[in-house]
Structure 1
Amino acid sequence: MFPLVPTLFLADVITIPPPTSGRRYLTQSQEIRPLPGQLNEIPVFNSNSPEVVKAEGILLSTFPPTAKKFPNAHLNLPISGQFDFFSHHIARPINKQQTLYQGVLIYNPSSQPVTLNILQGLSYVTSPDAPFRELPPTVEDPQGQVFSGPGSRLAGDILRGRHQRTFAEQIRIGPQQTQMLFSLPIPTASARSTYLRLQSDGPVHLANLVRFGTSTRFPSLPNLPGLPISPVSSLQMTGLGQWQDLLNIGRLAEPRDVIPTLQENVYSGEKVYGRVAGVSVGSQWRGTVVDRPGMNVLTIPYRGYAFSYPLSTVATATLGTQQIQSAPLLARYPDTAIRAHGNYGVQYHLTLPLYNPTPQPQRVSLLIQTPFKQNVASNRLTFIDRPEGQVFFRGTVRFTYADDLGQTQQRYFHLVQRQGQQGESLITLNLPPGGSRSVDVELIYPPDATPPQVLTIKTLDSDAG
Structure 2
Amino acid sequence: MVLGVAAAIVAPCPSAHADVALMAGQRARPLNGIFNTVPVLHSNQPEEVEGPGILISTAPGVSYAAENGMALRNAEYTFNGEFGIHMHHKYFPTYRSQIRPGERRTELTLGLILINPGQRAVQISFERGAVRNSFEAPYLANNLMGVKPLGVRPWNTGPGDATAVQMLRGKLDQRLSDQVTIPPRSRIVLFHTQLPALGIANALLRGRSTGPFQMAVVAASEPRSDADLVAVLDQRRLAPGRVYLNRIAEIQNRRIFSRVGGVALGDSYEAQLKHDLRRDGPLHVPLTSTQRHHFGTRDIQVNQLATRMIDSSLDNVGTYGVRFDIDLNLQGSGPYELVLSHPVPGGNSPPFTAFRGSMQVRTPEGLQEIHVGLRSGESLSLAQLNLNPGVPNPVRVSLVYPADATPGHLLSVVPASQLARVQQSQALQAAARAAAPATPPVARPATAPQPRAPQPRAPQPRSPQPPVLPRPAAPVVREPSPRPTTVLRATPSATSPNSRTPSPAVSQSLLDRYQEALDAQRKMMRDLMQR
Would the TM-score normalized by the shorter structure come out above 0.5? yes
Q: Which of residues 176, 190, 196 in structure 2 aligns to 1:167?
A: 176
Alignment correspondent of 1:428: 385
Give the partner amino acid of 2:315.
R
Secondary structure of the residue that 1:289 maps to in structure 2? strand
Alignment correspondent of 1:102: 110
For residues 163 and 366 of structure 1, the distance between their equivalents in structure 2, rounded to whole angstroms, comes to: 30
For residues 448 and 67 of structure 1, the distance between their equivalents in structure 2, rounded to whole angstroms, comes to: 27
For residues 460 and 244 of structure 1, the distance between their equivalents in structure 2, rounded to whole angstroms, comes to: 57
- Closer/same/farther in 2, CA of residues 182 and 15 from structure 1, 3 Å limit: farther
**Segment drifting more, 414-423 vs 154-163:** 154-163
1:314 deviates by 1.8
- Closer/same/farther in 2, CA of residues 299 and 183 from structure 1, 3 Å limit: same
Q: Which of residues 223, 236, 248 in structure 2 aligns to 1:250?
A: 236
1:63 deviates by 0.9
For residues 72 and 117 of structure 2, the distance between their equivalents in structure 1, rounded to whole angstroms, comes to: 19
CA radius of gyration, larger in: 2
- Closer/same/farther in 2, CA of residues 27 and 158 from structure 1, 3 Å limit: closer
For residues 164 and 279 of structure 2, the distance between their equivalents in structure 1, rounded to whole angstroms, comes to: 34
Alignment correspondent of 2:331: 355
**Segment drifting more, 169-178 vs 63-72:** 63-72
1:345 deviates by 0.8
1:419 deviates by 1.1
The structure with the largest helix share of the pair is: 2
For residues 62 and 352 of structure 2, the distance between their equivalents in structure 1, rounded to whole angstroms, comes to: 44
For residues 66 and 316 of structure 1, the distance between their equivalents in structure 2, rounded to whole angstroms, comes to: 34
Secondary structure of the residue that 1:246 maps to in structure 2? helix
Q: Check the 8 A contact 2:54/2:218 in 1, yes or no.
A: yes
- Structure 2 stretches of 5 or more lacking a match? 1-16, 100-104, 421-500, 502-531
Q: Which of residues 272, 286, 295 in structure 2 aligns to 1:288?
A: 272
Map of 1:16-415 to 2, 5 A cutoff? 28-65=24-61, 72=72, 74-94=74-94, 98-132=106-140, 134-213=143-222, 235=223, 237-239=224-226, 241-258=227-244, 259=247, 261-262=250-251, 271-290=255-274, 298-302=275-279, 305-356=281-332, 361-372=333-344, 389-403=351-365, 409-415=366-372
Secondary structure of the residue that 2:157 maps to in structure 1? coil
1:262 deviates by 3.6
For residues 460 and 25 of structure 1, the distance between their equivalents in structure 2, rounded to whole angstroms, comes to: 15
- Structure 1 stretches of 5 or more lacking a match? 1-13, 17-23, 214-234, 291-297, 375-383, 404-408
1:82 deviates by 0.5
For residues 373 and 283 of structure 1, the distance between their equivalents in structure 2, rounded to whole angstroms, comes to: 28
For residues 22 and 397 of structure 2, the distance between their equivalents in structure 1, rounded to whole angstroms, comes to: 26
For residues 313 and 365 of structure 1, the distance between their equivalents in structure 2, rounded to whole angstroms, comes to: 21
- Closer/same/farther in 2, CA of residues 371 and 185 from structure 1, 3 Å limit: same
Q: Which of residues 426, 433, 446 in structure 1 aligns to 2:402?
A: 446
Secondary structure of the residue that 1:100 maps to in structure 2? strand
Q: Check the 8 A contact 2:115/2:188 in 1, yes or no.
A: yes
1:450 deviates by 0.6
Secondary structure of the residue that 1:79 maps to in structure 2? coil
- Closer/same/farther in 2, CA of residues 52 and 301 from structure 1, 3 Å limit: farther
For residues 128 and 411 of structure 1, the distance between their equivalents in structure 2, rounded to whole angstroms, comes to: 26
What is the percentage of aligned positions where both structures have the same residue? Answer: 25
Q: Check the 8 A contact 1:287/1:351 in 2, yes or no.
A: yes
CA shift digits 1:290-334 (9 cap, x unpaired): 3xxxxxxx322559x422111112223222122221121011111
1:243 deviates by 2.3
Q: Check the 8 A contact 1:142/1:411 in 2, yes or no.
A: no
Secondary structure of the residue that 1:345 maps to in structure 2? coil
Secondary structure of the residue that 2:320 maps to in structure 1? coil
CA shift digits 1:337-371 (9 cap, x unpaired): 11111201100011112223xxxx43332111112
CA shift digits 1:397-440 (9 cap, x unpaired): 1011112xxxxx110111111111121252322322x1222111
1:126 deviates by 1.8
For residues 27 and 399 of structure 1, the distance between their equivalents in structure 2, rounded to whole angstroms, comes to: 21
Q: Check the 8 A contact 1:130/1:153 in 2, yes or no.
A: no
Alignment correspondent of 1:379: none
1:15 deviates by 10
For residues 77 and 115 of structure 2, the distance between their equivalents in structure 1, rounded to whole angstroms, comes to: 11
Q: Check the 8 A contact 1:62/1:207 in 2, yes or no.
A: yes
Secondary structure of the residue that 1:72 maps to in structure 2? strand
For residues 309 and 184 of structure 2, the distance between their equivalents in structure 1, rounded to whole angstroms, comes to: 28
For residues 28 and 262 of structure 1, the distance between their equivalents in structure 2, rounded to whole angstroms, comes to: 33
1:30 deviates by 1.8
Alignment correspondent of 2:414: 458
1:124 deviates by 1.3
1:66 deviates by 7.8
- Closer/same/farther in 2, CA of residues 15 and 71 from structure 1, 3 Å limit: farther
For residues 365 and 34 of structure 1, the distance between their equivalents in structure 2, rounded to whole angstroms, comes to: 19
Q: Check the 8 A contact 1:124/1:130 in 2, yes or no.
A: no
- Closer/same/farther in 2, CA of residues 250 and 66 from structure 1, 3 Å limit: closer
1:282 deviates by 0.8
Give the partner amino acid of 1:457.
V
Q: State the TM-score, normalizing by the size of structure 1.
A: 0.77
For residues 383 and 407 of structure 2, the distance between their equivalents in structure 1, rounded to whole angstroms, comes to: 20
Alignment correspondent of 2:489: none
The structure with the largest strand share of the pair is: 1
For residues 111 and 176 of structure 2, the distance between their equivalents in structure 1, rounded to whole angstroms, comes to: 13
For residues 395 and 334 of structure 2, the distance between their equivalents in structure 1, rounded to whole angstroms, comes to: 16
Alignment correspondent of 1:406: none
1:90 deviates by 0.6
Map of 1:7-22 to 2, 5 A cutoff? none
Equivalenced residue count is 388
